[in-house]
Amino acid sequence: MSAELLVLLIVVLTALAFDFTNGFHDTANAMATSIATGALPPRTAVLLSGFLNLVGAFLSVAVAATVAAGIVDLSEVSGKALLDIVFAGLVGGILWNLFTWLLGLPSSSSHALFGGLIGATIAALGWDGVIWTSGHTGVLAKIIIPALLAPVVAALVASVGSWLVYRITRGSNEKTVESGFRWGQIGSASLVSLAHGTNDAQKTMGIIFLALIAHGSASAGDPLPLWVIVSCAVAIAAGTCLGGWRIIRTLGKGLVDIAPPQGFAAESTSAAIILTSAHFGLPLSTTQTVTGSILGSGLGRPGAEVRWAVLGRMVVAWVLTLPMAGLVGALCWAILHAIGGTAGTLVVFALLIAAATFIWLRSRRTAVNSHNVNDDWQQQTDAPAAPLRGPDSVRHEIG
């Protein structure tokens, strides 16, 4: 095996690893509310979500065609130099996903990926390598503005939807209403899972295709290879089936106390917005969309409590995602550049495995699983800590 092919294989494996973390990091987006209301048993919910993520990944490739363009300008680099940027960016995205998962914070996997790529690009090419603003493309148009609008729009739509649901069912038998909406939740949560697979798996497809172009195994005008679509679909589905229980707990129990009518309104809103964005090829953050929908469902339900402190910690994580993932991406590129050649790639890959193993071992100290994910949320003792605090400080706070 040539050194160039070995580097390509490592980049592809790392991209699929990111896809896997995307799956379990974002399982909560689809199933947190259904699990919280008892519409679906926890294990059944994540297995159903995994299957639908698998199916959804085959429905469209519009996002895959746009995810690698319009944010960074890599037209002046090729070969190993381009693979190094992609690889360093992926490592930044993976480590931020794992860190926020450890803290139970639902940050955006999409923004983690973009942040890693932006950081690696700045380290390699300077600030001019990033397309900050350029018409309908660039960081401002494709990341910042959607990040600001998605949760707000989702919150507004979900709040109106929740208010209408409670308005229409006012005076009806509460048990009958909740039972009916639990069934409705199964359908709406399934739609969110399908939308997530359609939207998020394509981001990894785009990254792998970019790596193939850098290696010379494909050209920009080629169709997306079937093996790329299949492998990305399987990776995100496998990650989803793992559960991501820490974040499911935060979204399902921490932000608002969710009743079945709220869950149905939140999930329906999320699915509509995510599927619309996928149709137009917009790499929207499903996490921010779903969080906005859940918040809106609390605002629209009369007498519901919204835990603003929990929302504040989520927002802090959102704000830090791009710069922190970018910092890791830049550091990884610096290591690659300092060592050079295939050895640099192997060293960074080994560091990634070591860091991921360390985070997983730390998570075992405060295990959250299908058995305790629905335990009552006690804001002072169970709330996930802010991203700036270390794992020890959340030992008795999650699960």
Q: Using the predicted structure, report yes or no on whether residue 217 has a pLDDT greater than 90.
A: no
Looking at per-residue confidence, does 65 or 113 come out higher?
A: 113
What is the reported pLDDT for 283?
A: 59
Q: Which domain, by its residues, includes 59? A: 3-394
Is 375 a domain residue? yes
User: Per mean pLDDT, which range of 135-139, 351-355, 372-376, 387-391 is the poorest?
Assistant: 387-391
What is the reported pLDDT for 65?
A: 61
d(CA 286, CA 180) in angstroms, rounded, equals 26
Other Cβ atoms within 10 Å of 226 Cβ, number: 9
Looking at per-residue confidence, does 223 or 151 come out higher?
A: 151
What is the reported pLDDT for 398?
A: 36
CA 63 to chain centre: 15
335-367 pLDDT per residue, tens:
999 998 899 999 999 999 999 999 999 998 888
d(CA 387, CA 393) in angstroms, rounded, equals 11
d(CA 115, CA 139) in angstroms, rounded, equals 10
Is 380 a domain residue? yes
Which string of DSSP letters, residue by residue, matches 115-148? HHHHHHHHHHH-GGGB---BTTBHHIIIIIHHHH
Retrieve residue 112's tokens. Answer: 């983690």
Q: What is the domain count for the chain?
A: 1
What is the mean pLDDT of the segment spanning 48-76? 77
d(CA 186, CA 22) in angstroms, rounded, equals 22
Is 245 a domain residue? yes
Is 119 a domain residue? yes
Is 233 a domain residue? yes
Q: Using the predicted structure, report yes or no on whether residue 322 has a pLDDT greater than 90.
A: yes
What is the mean pLDDT of the segment spanning 28-44? 88
Retrieve residue 120's tokens. Answer: 């690696």
What is the mean pLDDT of the segment spanning 147-160? 89
- Terminal C-alpha separation, the chain: 46
Percent of the chain scoring above 70 in pLDDT: 89
Is 82 a domain residue? yes
d(CA 218, CA 224) in angstroms, rounded, equals 9
68-112 pLDDT per residue, tens:
567 787 777 778 888 999 999 999 999 999 999 999 999 888 899
pTM: 0.86
Q: Using the predicted structure, report yes or no on whether residue 244 has a pLDDT greater than 50.
A: yes
Average pLDDT, the chain: 84
- Given phi > 0 = left and psi -120 to 50 = alpha, else beta, which region is 340? left
Is 399 a domain residue? no
What is the reported pLDDT for 380?
A: 41
Give yes or no for a contact between 97 and 247, defined as CB atoms under 8 angstroms apart.
no
